[in-house]
Amino acid sequence: MFNRIIGRLSGHGVSSVYVLTGGVEWDIAVPTRAAGLFGPLGEETEVYVWLHHYEDGMKLFGFPSERERSIFLDLMKVEGIGPKQALKILSGISPAELAAALDAGNLAALQKVSGIGPKMAQKMVLALKGKLVEADSAEGGGAPASPWDDVVAALVDMGFDRRSAEASARKHAGGVAAGPEGEKELFRLALLDLSAGGAP
């Protein structure tokens, strides 16, 4: 029914963003890790969405890239994982890190994510091992996912050239810490580079 929503970023919470389009403000649940990847307040943003229609209502889930939404949908194929749990998983680990952990069968890495216990980690590996990596290869021409893959994808989705986005992310990657906060800072620095039109 919906593919993506393009409008002005009018606000955000810890795990949601608000996008204003034609007088309608959309309340979209997003991974907390990715909340800072939708650009500055007041600027145009683009959110890939999935509508969850349940007995008592409807809820929009949103992602900074089509790839991350695809992984969200793949997670829900695992027995015991619904939309809220899938969003919680993507709040605690980036798609690139998740794909690497699944491909390696790294149960310990998966269990570090809030809400994933030993049994769930095993179910995820059995259901998804290799599949997310194959999706990465198809999208990225076979190149392995980089630690800043999500940042590059978000910048490309905003209309920047992929090669420039990768160069800018690589330029600043060494100066930020690993994890969600570092990813947000890397996105901010790369966006400043690209918005200024300077060569990375």
Query: What is the pTM assigned to this prediction?
Result: 0.67
Instruction: Please report which confidence band the pLDDT of residue 72 belongs to, taking 50, 70 and 90 as the band edges.
Output: very high
Name all domains of the chain by residue range, CATH numbers in brackets: 4-63 (2.40.50.140), 79-140 (1.10.150.20), 149-195 (no CATH)
Is residue 46 predicted with pLDDT exceeding 50?
yes
Is residue 135 predicted with pLDDT exceeding 70?
no
Report the distance separating Cα 193 and Cα 180, nearest Å. 20
List the single range of 4-13, 40-49, 129-138 with lowest mean pLDDT: 129-138
Report the distance separating Cα 105 and Cα 175, nearest Å. 30
8 Å CB contact between 102 and 125: yes
